[in-house]
Amino acid sequence: MISTKRAYNFNAGPSALPIEVLQKAQEELVNFNNSGMSIMEMSHRSKDYDAVHNDAIARFKSLFSIPDNYEVLFLQGGGSLQFTMVPMNFLNEGQTASYILTGSWSEKALKEAKLLGQTQEAASTKENAYRNIPSLEDIKFSETDAYVHLTSNNTIYGTQWKEFPNTGEVPLVADMSSDILSKRIDVSSFGIIYAGAQKNLGPSGVTIVIIRKDLLEIAKTNIPTVLKYSTHSESNSLYNTPPTFGIYMLGEVLKWVEEKGGLEAIEKNNEEKAKLIYDVIDQSNGFYKGHADVESRSLMNITFRLADEELEKKFLAQAKEEGFVGLNGHRSVGGCRASTYNAVPYETCKALADFMIEFQSKNQ
C-alpha cells in the first residue's frame, strides 16, 4: 500500500491527485479487470479499454452538465497545442480573433494565433501587472470576429474569472486548464473549452476539449488531418493511440468527484480551502502581500510575496523542511504560490495557514 506519510503538495502542475485514486490505480496496475494485463498494456481497441474510455466521457458530461449539442474529445499536446489548433481550425482569412490578456498563458495563445491569421487584443490587464481580470465593459470585439479567447484562471498571477463575458453569436473559447471541474459553470456560454488534465482532472498527458457540434461543421478542412477537431470527433477520440493510462486515471478522478458530492461539494470545499490561506494574508498586516486584487483572486492559485527576497527564501526553506512542496512562485515572477486544486485536502491548506501564522510570529 502507499505510505500514509504524504507531502503537503501545492505543486502548480502536475499537481496533487486524490490518494484514493492513486491507491485504486496501484491495486489495478498489474492486472486490470482480471485481464492479466495493465491498462497500459492493452489495445486501445479492446473491449476493456473501450469501456473505460466511454465511461470517462459519460461521467465528465454528467458532472460538468454538458449539453447534448457538445462533443467531448480526449486529445494530447496540452493546452499549448490548443493554442494552435483553435486558430488553425477557425480563424479564416478576412476574419479577426480577439484575445483577452490576463497573464502569460493568454499571451502565449495570442502569439500562436498571430502566426495563423489576424488577431487583436480585446482587453488586457498587463499594465496592472496582471493583478486583475478586465471588467466586462472593457472587452472590445466585433460581431464578425472568428472567436473571443480567454484564460479562465491564471496560475502564475493568481487571478480567476468570476463572471464570463457574453459574446453573443461569436464563439467564446476558454482555456480552463487550471480550474476546470473546480466549480459549476454554464457550458452553453462557450463554443470551445479546453484543458490539460494535470491540475484537476488527472495526470499529465490528456487534454480534454469540449466543443459545440455546429462549430465542427464550419471548421476549415485544408489543414493536417490529426489537427482537425472533426477527425477526433468522428473517431470518438480514437483516431490515433490515445493516452490510455491518463484517460483511465481521469475516469477514476471523476468517480472520486462523484463520491465527494459532485461539483457543488467540490466548489464549496475549494472556497473553504482558499479562505484559510487568504485570511492569513489579509490579517497579517502586510507581512504577506497578495498579488491579485481581492475581487479577482483565484481559488486555485494563491500568489503572495513577503517583505523581501531574503525573507521569502527563509520562508520557502523552512516550509520545505516542514514537508511543504511546490510553494515557490513561477520562475518568471518569483514570490510564493499555493496551488489548491481539487485534490489538495482541506487539512493540507490548514497546515499551510498554521505554518504561515507561526512563521510571521517568529519573523516580524
Q: Which of 161, 183, 199, 273 is catalytic?
A: 199
Q: Beta 336-339 vs 70-75: how paired, if at all?
A: unpaired
Scanning the structure block, which residue is given the C-alpha cell 498579488? 291
Would residue 206 be called left, alpha or beta, if left means φ above 0 and alpha means ψ between -120 and 50 degrees? beta
Catalytic residue among 145, 161, 175, 179: 175
Q: Is 161 a catalytic residue?
A: no
Is 105 annotated as catalytic? Answer: yes
From first CA to last CA, the distance across the chain in angstroms is 43
State the helix-helix crossing angle for 262-282 and 244-259, rounded to 10 degrees.
80
| Ramachandran category for residue 210: left, alpha or beta (phi over 0 → left; psi -120 to 50 → alpha) | beta
Q: Can you tell me whether residue 136 is helix, strand or coil?
A: helix
As a whole number of angstroms, the distance between CA 172 and CA 165 comes to: 8
CA–chain centroid gap for 133, Å, is 17
Sequence-separated (6 or more) residues with CB below 8 Å from residue 214: 69
Measuring CA to CA, how many Å separate 203 from each of 4, 200, 347? 20, 9, 22
Cβ atoms of 71 and 210 closer than 8 Å: yes
Cα–Cα distance measured from residue 217 to residue 229, given in angstroms and rounded to the nearest whole number: 10
Cβ(338)–Cβ(327) under 8 Å? yes
Active site residue 126: no
Sequence-distant (6+) residues with CB within 8 A of 248 are 25, 32, 39, 52, 56
Q: CA-CA distances (angstroms) from residue 225 to 84, 220, 221, 222, 315?
A: 14, 11, 8, 9, 50
- Report phi then psi at 334, rounded to 5: 75, -160
d(CA 89, CA 228): 7
Tell me the catalytic residues. 105, 175, 199
